[in-house]
Structure 1
Amino acid sequence: MVAYNAGDPKRIQHLIKVHYFARMIGLAEHVDEATQLILEAAAIVHDIGIRICEQKYGVCDGKHQELEGPDEARKLLTDMGTFSEVQIERICWLVGHHHTYDSITGIDYQILVEADFLVNIYEDNLPADAIRKVKEKIFKTSAGRALLDTMFGVENNTL
């Protein structure tokens, strides 16, 4: 993904941060090894649809990313030859849903969304009220909530 996003350090840094937070949360939540692998792979490729969306639509909003990302992720993951078809299916499904928050199912999905939010809150400089709403509506894992509180002072009302 670093090579895929060559010349775009912001996207490279974003995917690395999302991956690391997903890894941290997954390990802290004691996610099984197979799920952890899928989670980490999905975190790395979660925004793979952005470039295609910009070229095709001139925008890269979440819904367009969910539309275009899975096929692009499938190509990359298949070419790697590392993942089984079942793993690729789940990773692509996660890529195709990582901006849909109303029906989060599966610990890998929950953690991916939380990790992406941890990075986006910082990168987008979200205001305190928005962070509190995100915590209330989105964050479910103990590890994700603790990271959010520690990073942004949500629990201590230091926002």
Structure 2
Amino acid sequence: METGKVIEAAIAYFENDIRRISHLLKVYGFAKAIGEKEQLDLFTMECLETAAVLHDIGIKISEEKYQSSAGKYQELEGPPVAAVILKKLEFPAPVTERVAYLIGHHHTYDKIEGMDYQILVEADFLVNINEDGLDSSKQGLDSIRKIKENIFKTKTGTKILESIYLSKVN
């Protein structure tokens, strides 16, 4: 697994955009922790970790091309950028294909297929809840409960969500 090289490439791609770099590192950290606790096989773990680092890689092009960072644009623009990065890093085609699929669907929640996909979505939510300020109001807490009910499926991800955002209010 060459996650360090992927992180280095993503940091270079985002240049001095510390907000995006911090986001990808936080999502990567949660994804790695959940994946390890859920005991993913090596291939699935490699796909998960790589996708976690690159999941928002399409955001720069989305903002330039559409003046928007909306998820649908990230899903559209991210896979080709990721494929170029992974080709330069000489990743095997099966990993690159799965990572492109995950990036191209990480904002689509109605047809989650595979533990790597599920965990990527959970990790992104764990970070976005805080970054979007949902954890600071009653309405936000209601939203977090709905996210837990509708999105979270892994024991580890659910436990982390509860521990961070719901433990003092239950």
1:112 aligns with 2:120: yes
Letter of the aligned partner of 2:84 in structure 1?
A: K
- Matching residue within 75, 78, 95 for 1:69: 78
In 1: Cα distance, 2:113 partner to 2:101 partner: 12
Counterpart of 1:91? 99
Q: Deviations over 1:113-138 (max 9, x none)?
A: 00000000010011101100000000
Letter of the aligned partner of 2:107 in structure 1?
A: H
- Matching residue within 29, 33, 54 for 1:24: 33
- CA-based RMSD of the aligned residues comes to 0.9
Letter of the aligned partner of 1:88 in structure 2?
A: T
Runs of 4+ in 1 over 3 A off after TM superposition: none
Q: Deviations over 1:40-67 (max 9, x none)?
A: 0000000000000011010010001001
Which consecutive residues of structure 1, in runs of 5 or more, have no partner in the other structure? none
Q: Deviations over 1:15-72 (max 9, x none)?
A: 0000000000000001111110110000000000000001101001000100110011
In 2: Cα distance, 1:32 partner to 1:21 partner: 17
Q: Which has the higher helix share?
A: 2
TM-score normalised per structure 2 = 0.90
Tell me the secondary structure at the aligned position of residue 11 of structure 2: coil
TM-score normalised per structure 1 = 0.96
How far did residue 158 of structure 1 move?
1.0
In 2: Cα distance, 1:106 partner to 1:29 partner: 12
1:9-158 residue pairs with structure 2 within 5 A? 9-81=18-90, 83-126=91-134, 127-153=140-166, 156=167, 158=169
In 1: Cα distance, 2:42 partner to 2:85 partner: 22
In 1: Cα distance, 2:112 partner to 2:144 partner: 19
Which consecutive residues of structure 2, in runs of 5 or more, have no partner in the other structure? 1-9, 135-139
Count of residue pairs the alignment pairs up: 156
